[in-house]
Chain A
Amino acid sequence: MNTESLYDSLVTLLRSHSPELHDGSVTPQPDSQLADLGIDSLELLSLAVDMENEYDMTIDDSMLTPARTVSDLVRAIAHAHQQAQE
């Protein structure tokens, strides 16, 4: 999966977890704060389950816990992908 399609699919997942994005009228940006999207610590864990299933990978706690922005989630996915290949 290339970066662009990965980002698109991540946005789809974000919409299902974010009240702010749910109706599709707003598109999250890489620097969008997860808190501003209504994704708190518990919702982030729920999102992580969907991400692991969507991309069939295991996301490390060390990448997920500090995640604050959409970019952080992209990095967590990239890290998990790299870990899986090693």
Chain B
Amino acid sequence: MTNQVVITGVGCVSPFGAGLDALWQGLFSGRTPQPPTCFDGTGFRTAGVYEVPDDGQDAGTRPVRLARAAAEQALQEAGLTRTQVSSAGLALASTSAGWHLPGQSLGGEPVHMTEVLRKEWPAVVLASELGLRGPSAVLSSACAASTGAVSWAVERIRSGESSVMLVGAVDVITEVVLAGFNSMRLLTQHRTRPFAEDRDGFILAEGAAFMVMEEAGHAAARSALARARVLGWGASSDSTHLTTPDPVGIARSLRAALADAGRSPGQISVFYAHGTASAVNDRAESDAVLDVFVQESAPVTTAAIKSALGHAEGAAGMFAIVAAVEGLNRGKVPPVLGVERPDPATAHLMLADHQTSHPHGDVMVHASGFGGTNCTVLLGPAPSQGRDAPVGHRVPTRTRPPGIPVAVAAATATEAEAVARGFHPEWSPEGGPVPATPPRSPRPDQSCLLLSAAVAALLGGLPMTERHKMLRGGLLTGTEHGGQRHHARMHAGLRKRGARGVDPLDFALSTYNAPAAMTSIMLGFHGQTEAFLGATAGVEALVTGAWLIASGRVGGIVCAGWDAPENRLWAAPGAPSVPARATALALCPVGTDWEGAGVSLAGIAGVRRLSFAAHPASPEAFEEIAGQFNPGEPDMLVATGLAGQEADTLSGAGWTVLPPEGGAAAPLGAHVATIERIAAGQARDAIVVSTAASGATIAVHYTVIAAGRYE
């Protein structure tokens, strides 16, 4: 049984202007593409872009301004008190906003405020301004980032970690991104016409969309009006190609969402398609829908809002969710504009027109992204409008029994080697890495090679059954610097040769989820892939995976942190170096047949998160967050992310403080070292706390698991 989630506030800033009314009207009218105003659009194969009407202020702070405006709308509609807001968590999705802002040079001009050039920066600012203290994360799985953020936030409410989550997405049009899509010939010289026979790509757009998600009982207790319910989510990796979508992978995501929500295809009344109007994407998505909805005789009512709004990258999925919520409340479905001749191959999708009323039933919103990452969210009418359970009713959403997540293997890969350690009762040290098959194009870069080497090494020692559980469960990753080397190369090409100077291979490898996607292709992960951002993002991947195990959603999952020095384009003075490294951990529930196996394992007994902040947590915060676990006197207290006097303070209080190191792999390395000591019988329990500037602070309480039970 799990908490039900409702949406109590929605807001957005779109190319049609600020607010939901402007968006809704715009979805019915569309608009004419215009040349970009922040850079010279000469030489791009496109009719123009859809920019948000600019307020004339500094372009560098634009992502923050857009996000703030949308978030304030959502919070105002939700009607939360300041105290209620301060208890909320934050999930932010973004593909591009942050580090490569309009007009900003990449590596050429000195940058004085490097924090602004991070995708996490809008999250840092929002968390600070609103005083958010709940769990927070920034997710960037390309154009599926929004639905990924919603899914992550749903789990924070289901787990009871937070009753309120502010969830949003922001992306801005930049020269580098437009050039990337241009190089891939995904832009239209006309209009975005999803599922049209003569479709030829999309218009790039920008904007921010936010919503307030709430535990249903919490919303009911304060008499808040629920605008819709979030019924469930599903995710998958195509595991086939970085840029060519696969209908089988998409269908896996759609089915996973249906299963999570306990819905059948017949209960879905409207499908909000990703619908980029590329020949391949629309066909793959349509084939997936046909596969999943095959038993339904009637065509599926389909919305594709990119026909009016364009493609807002990582924010696209959030705009679709906002449109779906509006559609449920207004009793209408936004039309698919500009399609004179629907593609006969997608005829089972009944494209909405200006007169389409909202049919009775639930709504499916799908998003796909580069890397073959898919994530689908199911929404339902607000409880008072629907036929389903009353607000606050707890519904079953998991089929597996809850389990204690334990680390069964770990591996670290450097440029020189990959070393794996196993704690599973049937771990085979002679296993060697599982075979990895890299695609012929694009060839994996160093980040991809590091991550895939670490994951291949840990999978190799696990018994086959556990290995398959991991591949089905998924691969969650964290990175601080992503694939920025590729963006820098694209920018250099632009400066040298204009639009023709950008290599699409760089663009394909530039998304922050590319190493996870490449690893899924090389090793065969079919489950969820995700990319969290920030120096502690590898730890976020770990604790997110631990909950998915504990809640029974998956039977195994791999969580990793990675970074490579060439992707750090700027550094604050005195910042520690970034090693080329990936560290991965395999988690699964304690096996029921491990009783008497004579092994000790580290089980994750508790997790605490502090919100994103500009500065690392203080030593006092470390002590406070560790004290919340109330384990008595843990055998080990381990800290990462602190230096200087603050590190000395914690050391004096009995903590082991690891030396500062850049990148998302290092904090996870501290976890591996702790897990090893527990498995070796050198400690019975431990608390590991990781913090970072412009990142979240995350604490994990480990307890020894021996012979299949807590001691």
* Contacts from A to B (Cβ < 8 Å): 19, 38-43, 45-46, 48-49, 52-53, 61, 64-65
- Chain B residue contacts of A48, Cβ below 8 A: 185
Residues of B within 8 A of A64 (CB): 185
Among A19, A38, A49, A52, chain B packs the most CB atoms within 10 A around the CB of: A49
Q: In the complex, A26→B504 CA distance in Å?
A: 26
Hey, which chain A residues are within 8 Å of B200, CB to CB?
61
Q: Please choose the segment from B378-386, B495-503, B591-599, B600-608 that sits at the chain A interface, where 4 or more of its residues have CB less than 8 A away.
A: B495-503
User: Across the interface, do A42 and B442 meet the contact criterion of CB distance under 8 Å?
Assistant: yes
Residue in A closest to B502 when the chains form the complex, CB atoms:
A49
- Which single residue of chain B is at the shortest CB-CB distance from A56? B500
Please classify the interface of chain A as helix (H, G, I), strand (E, B), loop, or mixed, using the class held by over half of its residues. Answer: helix
* Complex Cα–Cα for A3 and B441 (A): 29
| Interfacial chain A residues near B500, Cβ < 8 Å | 49, 52-53
Residue in contact with A42 in the complex, picked from B244, B501, B502, CB distance below 8 Å: B244
Q: Which residue of B lies closest to A38 (CB)?
A: B440
CB pair B185 A42 closer than 8 Å: no
Within 8 Å CB of B130, what residues of A?
A: none
CA A38 to CA B280, docked complex, whole Å:
20
Contact A42 B242 (CB under 8 A): yes
CA distance A46 to B507 in the complex (A): 10
Known: A49-B183, A61-B185. A42 touches B505 (CB 8 A): yes
On whether the beta carbons of B183 and A42 are closer than 8 Å, the reply is no
Interface of B, helix, strand, loop or mixed by DSSP: loop
Q: A53 to chain B: closest CB distance in Å?
A: 5
1/0 per residue, CB under 8 A from A, across B269-296: the answer is 0000000000110000000000000000
Mark out the residues of chain B between 141 and 165 whose CB falls within 8 Å of any chain A CB in the assembled complex: none
Is B614 interfacial (CB-CB < 8 Å)?
A: no
B87 at the interface (CB under 8 A from A): no
9 closest residue pairs by CB, A with B = A43-B441, A45-B504, A38-B440, A46-B505, A40-B441, A42-B243, A52-B500, A46-B504, A42-B441
From A39, A45, A53, contact of B185 by CB (8 A): A45
Q: A19-B440, A38-B440, A40-B441 are in contact. Are A45 and B242 (CB under 8 A)?
A: no
Q: A41-B243, A43-B442, A46-B441 are in contact. List 20 more A-B contacts (CB 8 A).
A: A19-B440, A38-B441, A39-B441, A40-B244, A41-B244, A42-B184, A42-B441, A42-B505, A42-B508, A43-B440, A43-B505, A45-B183, A45-B184, A46-B442, A46-B503, A49-B500, A49-B502, A64-B185, A65-B185, A65-B279
A53 to B43, CA, bound (A): 13
Select the residue from A43, A46, A53, A65 with max chain B CB neighbours within 10 A. A46
Residues of A within 8 A of B504 (CB): 42, 45-46, 49
B472-509 with Cβ < 8 A to chain A: 497, 500-505, 508
B residues 422-461 touching A (CB-CB < 8 Å): 440-442
A53 CA to B496 CA in the complex, in Å?
Answer: 11
Name the A residues within 8 Å of B503 (CB-CB). Answer: 46, 49
| CA distance in complex: A53, B501 (Å) | 8
CB nearest to A40 among chain B residues: B441
CA distance A41 to B504 in the complex (A): 11
Complex CA distance for A37 and B200, rounded to whole angstroms: 27
**Complex Cα spacing A53 to B498, Å:** 10
For residue A53, which residues in chain B have a CB less than 8 angstroms away from its CB?
A: 497, 500-501
User: For the complex, what is the distance from the CA of A46 to the CA of B183, rounded to whole Å?
Assistant: 8
Collect the chain B residues with CB atoms within 8 Å of residue A40's CB: 241, 244, 440-441
Among B45, B280, B500, B503, which residue has the most Cβ atoms of chain A within 10 A? B500
Show 20 residue pairs from A and B whose CB-CB distance is below 8 angstroms, ordered by the A residue. A39-B441, A40-B244, A41-B243, A41-B244, A42-B244, A42-B504, A42-B508, A43-B505, A45-B183, A45-B504, A46-B505, A49-B183, A49-B502, A49-B504, A52-B500, A53-B500, A53-B501, A61-B200, A64-B185, A65-B279
Question: How many Å from the CB of A15 to the closest CB on chain B?
Answer: 14
Chain B residues lying within 8 Å of A65, measured Cβ to Cβ, are: 185, 279
Which residues of A have CB within 8 Å of B441? 38-40, 42-43, 46
Minimum C-beta distance from A62 to chain B (A):
10
For the complex formed, measure the closest distance between the CB of B441 and the CB atoms of chain A, giving whole angstroms: 4
Closest residue of A by beta carbon distance from B493: A49
CB distance from A6 to the nearest CB of B (A): 19
- Give bound CA distance, A24 to B707, whole Å: 59
Q: How far is the CB of B30 from chain A (nearest CB, A)?
A: 23
Residue with the highest number of chain A CB atoms closer than 10 Å, among B241, B441, B505, B508: B441
Bound complex: CA A9 to CA B442 (Å): 23
CA distance A49 to B244 in the complex (A): 19
Residues of chain A with a CB closer than 8 A to B243's CB: 41-42
| Closest B residue, CB atoms, query A58 | B45
> Shortest distance in angstroms between A34's beta carbon and chain B's nearest beta carbon?
11
Instruction: Report the Cα distance A68→B368, complex, angstroms.
Output: 27
Give the distance in Å from the alpha carbon of A63 to the alpha carbon of B269 in the complex: 40
Minimum Cβ distance to chain A for residue B199 (Å): 12
Report chain A residues within 8 Å CB of B501. 49, 53
In angstroms, Cα B243 to Cα A19, docked, is 19
Residues of the A chain whose Cβ atoms lie less than 8 Å from the Cβ of B442: 42-43, 46
Q: Which residues of B contact A61 (CB under 8 A)?
A: 45, 185, 200
Please, which residue of chain B has its CB at the minimum distance from the CB of A20?
B440
Expressed in whole angstroms, the minimum distance between the Cβ of B521 and any Cβ of chain A is 12
CB distance from A49 to the nearest CB of B (A): 6
Give the distance in Å from the alpha carbon of A26 to the alpha carbon of B508 in the complex. Answer: 28
Task: Encode contact with A along B247-285: 1 for CB under 8 Å, 0 otherwise.
Answer: 000000000000000000000000000000001100000
Residues of chain A within 8 A (CB-CB) of B185 are: 45, 48, 61, 64-65
Distance in Å: Cβ of A83 to nearest Cβ of chain B: 14
Rounded to whole Å, the gap between the CB of A10 and the closest CB of chain B is 17
Residues of A within 8 A of B497 (CB): 53
By a CB distance below 8 angstroms, the chain A residues around B508 are 42
Which chain B positions have C-beta within 8 A of A45? Answer: 183-185, 504
- Encoded as 1 (CB less than 8 Å from any A CB) or 0, chain B from 632 to 653 comes to 0000000000000000000000
Residue of A nearest to B186 (CB): A45
The docked-state distance in angstroms from the alpha carbon of A85 to that of B539 is 59
In the assembled complex, the CB of B563 is this many whole angstroms from the nearest CB of chain A, namely: 25
Give the distance in Å from the alpha carbon of A40 to the alpha carbon of B242 in the complex: 11
Q: How far is the CB of A47 from chain B (nearest CB, A)?
A: 10
Give the complex CA separation of A43 and B439 in angstroms. Answer: 11
Q: Which residues of A contact B505 (CB under 8 A)?
A: 42-43, 46
